[in-house]
Structure 1
Amino acid sequence: MTIETWLSFTLAAMMLCISPGPTQLLVMGQSLTYGKRSVVPLILGVLSGDMIAMSLSVLGLGAVLALSATLFAVLKYLGAAYLCYLGIKAWRAKTAKAEDADKTPLASGAIFKEALLVTALNPKGIIFFMAFFPLFIDTAQAYLPQVSVLAISFLLVSGLSVSFYSLFAGQLRQKVQSPKLQTGFNKISGAMLIGAGALTATMQK
Structure 2
Amino acid sequence: MVPLSNVLAFALASAVLIAVPGPRVLFVVGRSLALGRRGGLLSVLGNALGELLQVAAVALGLGVVLAQSTVLFTVVKFAGAAYLVYLGVQAIRHRGGRAAASGPARSSSVRRVLQEAFIVGATNPKSVVFFVAVLPQFVDYPAGAIPLQLATLGAVFLLIALVSDSAWALAAGTARHWFARSPRRIAALGTTGGIMMVALGGTLALAGQAGELPAGK
TM-score bucket of the superposed structures, by smaller chain: 0.7 to 0.9
Q: Does 1:203 align with 2:203?
A: no
Contact in 1 for aligned 2:40/2:173 (Cα 8 Å): no
Q: Deviations over 1:147-186 (max 9, x none)?
A: 3431331221122122212211222123223534415523
Structure 2 counterparts to residues 30-109 of structure 1, below 5 A: 30-38=31-39, 41-65=42-66, 68-95=69-96, 100-103=100-103, 106=106, 107-109=109-111
Greater mean alpha carbon deviation, residues 82-91 or residues 168-177: 82-91
Structure 2 counterparts to residues 158-173 of structure 1, below 5 A: 158-173=161-176
Contact in 1 for aligned 2:88/2:197 (Cα 8 Å): yes
Q: Aligned match of 2:178 in 164, 175, 179?
A: 175
TM-aligned CA distance change 1:155 to 1:68, over 3 Å: closer
Gaps of 5+ in 1: none
Contact in 1 for aligned 2:67/2:73 (Cα 8 Å): yes
In structure 2, distance between residues paired with 1:66 and 1:147:
16
1:23 corresponds to: 24
Cα displacement (A) at 1:96: 5.9
Cα displacement (A) at 1:68: 4.0
Cα displacement (A) at 1:88: 3.0
Tell me the matched-pair count.
Answer: 203
In structure 2, distance between residues paired with 1:63 and 1:33:
35
TM-aligned CA distance change 1:87 to 1:168, over 3 Å: same
1:119 corresponds to: 121
TM-aligned CA distance change 1:97 to 1:116, over 3 Å: closer
In structure 2, distance between residues paired with 1:46 and 1:183:
20
Contact in 2 for aligned 1:10/1:154 (Cα 8 Å): yes
Cα displacement (A) at 1:126: 1.5
- 1:194 maps to a residue whose letter is G
Contact in 1 for aligned 2:67/2:210 (Cα 8 Å): no
2:154 corresponds to: 151
Q: Secondary structure at the match of 1:26?
A: helix
- 1:138 maps to a residue whose letter is D
Report the identity percentage. 35
In structure 2, distance between residues paired with 1:5 and 1:38:
35
Task: Give TM-score, length-normalised by structure 2.
Answer: 0.76
What is the RMSD of the two structures over their aligned residues, measured on CA atoms?
A: 2.9
2:214 corresponds to: none
Q: Secondary structure at the match of 2:129?
A: helix
2:196 corresponds to: 189
- 1:132 maps to a residue whose letter is V
In structure 2, distance between residues paired with 1:48 and 1:187:
22
TM-aligned CA distance change 1:85 to 1:40, over 3 Å: closer
